[in-house]
């Protein structure tokens, strides 16, 4: 499932909702589309552990019925964890997301020193090249909030708390390019995304960043 593009994932959900007879609200304009907005599109090759989307309906449905329909219609590998009614006039999550927590796994990490992430963070600039309509150089250092290694017996993993969202951010594969192991052969997981309330980072479900770290360590 991690090799499905964001557009294909969007089509998968749209078709599942239509097969289930869910009354989708449509956008305005000459080419109306279902109002289905992912909080933070996930890059190809990364597994999402806790992903979020805003779904707008044209009429009310019980969340239990909607959850059952989605579980019947979605393919294996896409699971619904929870459905929460939201204020239809509230800003979509996509405009509120500010950070994401990633986990990277590779046997090569066991040979890395604990101080390596700290050394990387001491750099004033970490320049990467992004391609699009035009190629540009970008300093991603301001977008790296935390970066550290964790070891458990014979296993080592890299954790990254990175800025993401409409205000800019760093991509995990860009951060990995500054490690001697590179980014090849590494398994990447996005553990959760966060919005900011005051000085606190919270998931859209209301869990704090600290709560997420604790759950992550207990499950390892």
Query: What number is the average pLDDT over the span 189-212?
Result: 95
| pLDDT single digits (tens) 49-108 | 999 999 999 999 999 999 999 999 999 999 999 999 988 888 999 999 999 999 999 988
pLDDT digits (tens, 9 = 90+) for 152-165: 888 899 999 999 99
Percentage of residues in the chain having pLDDT higher than 90: 76
Tokens (6 digits) for 31: 């080419």
Distance CA 104, CA 15 (A): 32
200 DSSP 8-state letter? E
CA–CA dist 24, 55 (Å, integer): 8
How much is the pTM? 0.92
What is the separation of C-alpha 97 from the centre of its chain, rounded to a whole number of angstroms? 10
For the stretch 117-138, pLDDT in tens is 999 999 999 999 998 788 899 9
- pLDDT number for residue 88: 80
Phi/psi for 25 (5° steps) reads: -75, 145
Percent of the chain's residues with pLDDT above 70 = 100
Indicate if the pLDDT at residue 182 is higher than 80: no
The total of other beta-carbon atoms located within 10 Å of residue 64's CB is 9
- CA distances to 107, 148, 185 from 181, rounded to whole Å, are 10, 15, 9
Q: How confident is the model at residue 32 (pLDDT cuts 50, 70, 90)?
A: confident
């Amino acid at each position: 499932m991690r090799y499905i593009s964001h557009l294909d994932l969007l089509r998968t959900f749209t078709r599942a909702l239509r097969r289930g007879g869910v009354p989708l609200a449509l956008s305005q304009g000459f080419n109306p589309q279902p109002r289905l907005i992912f909080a933070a599109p996930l890059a190809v090759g990364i597994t999402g552990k806790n992903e979020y989307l805003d779904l707008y309906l044209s009429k009310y449905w019980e969340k239990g019925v909607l959850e059952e329909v989605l579980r019947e219609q979605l393919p294996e590998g896409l699971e619904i964890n929870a459905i929460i009614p939201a204020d239809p006039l509230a800003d979509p999550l996509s405009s509120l997301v500010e950070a994401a927590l990633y986990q990277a796994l590779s046997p090569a990490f066991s040979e890395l020193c604990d101080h390596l992430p700290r050394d990387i963070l001491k750099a004033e600039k970490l320049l990467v090249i992004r391609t699009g309509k035009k190629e540009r150089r970008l300093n991603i250092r301001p977008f790296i909030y935390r970066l550290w290694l964790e070891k458990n017996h014979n296993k080592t993993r890299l954790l990254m708390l990175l800025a993401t969202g409409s205000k800019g951010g760093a991509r995990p594969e860009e951060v990995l390019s500054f490690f001697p192991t590179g980014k090849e052969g590494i398994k990447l997981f996005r553990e959760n995304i966060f919005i900011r309330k005051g000085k606190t980072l919270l998931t859209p479900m209301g869990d704090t960043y600290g709560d997420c770290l604790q759950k992550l360590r207990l499950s390892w």
